[in-house]
Amino acid sequence: MTFLDPSIDYYVLKEKQWNLGSGEIYDSNGDVIGKMERRLRNIRGLTKLTEIDGRGVLKIQRKLFTYRITYDVFESHEDDGMHGKQFARCKRSFWSWLRPKMWFEYESTEQGSSKKRLDAQGSFSGWTFKIISDGKEIAEVKKLDKYRDLIFKGLFDKSDTHAIHILDKNFDRKILLGFIMAIERSLSAKK
């Protein structure tokens, strides 16, 4: 099974190492299907998503010198030091202190189609997000270890776990996972 297999309904992102952005991605059976890696010596916080065999899927990188938190999403490139084509950008709303709000602009694969947009609205605490496309909810992201963060914030808070429930089985997984990883990176950068 590949990381972007449309039959996968649930993903679990298990980030390790004190929010440094590295960890494993599991399916609903608990099998590792992918990895996320973050380069520590990168001012833009480059995060890569890869298949279990190491083949690149996509890269997420923070855009510098912008007035709002912005992440660019690229296709993976054979040369690890280079980016593939940028296909999306995630932006965070200024007015989202109580309930985080973000949107994701991406290029449609349909011919003659302009850019499309996904929206995400977080809960009051920012632990749950609903992802909406054309007024329809297509996915939901939940933080699984939220209560541990309240009690053991700091030294004992060395990992984050997020569950992703895909509601629209036909939606492009690369676009959806790119948006979810940009949301996760944005929340980690806020800490």
| CA pair distance 149, 164, nearest whole angstrom | 19
**Residue 8 within any structural domain of the chain:** no
* pLDDT tens per residue across span 132-144: 999 999 999 988 8
**Residue 4 within any structural domain of the chain:** no
**Residue 169 within any structural domain of the chain:** yes
Domain count, the chain: 1
pLDDT, residue 40, reads 63
To the nearest whole percent, how much of the chain has pLDDT over 90? Answer: 19
**Residue 7 within any structural domain of the chain:** no
* pLDDT tens per residue across span 51-97: 988 888 898 888 888 777 888 888 886 666 667 888 888 888 877 66
**Residue 40 within any structural domain of the chain:** yes
Domain of residue 36, residue span: 13-190
**Residue 127 within any structural domain of the chain:** yes
Is the separation of the CB atoms in 138 and 171 below 8 Å? yes
pLDDT, residue 70, reads 87
pTM: 0.81
**Residue 2 within any structural domain of the chain:** no
**For the purposes of burial, counting CB atoms within 10 Å of the CB of 120, is it exposed (0-12), middle (13-18) or buried (19 or more)?**
buried
Task: Give the CATH number, domain containing residue 120.
Answer: 2.40.160.200
Q: Which of 10, 59, 6 is nearest to 36 (CA)?
A: 59
pLDDT, residue 184, reads 79
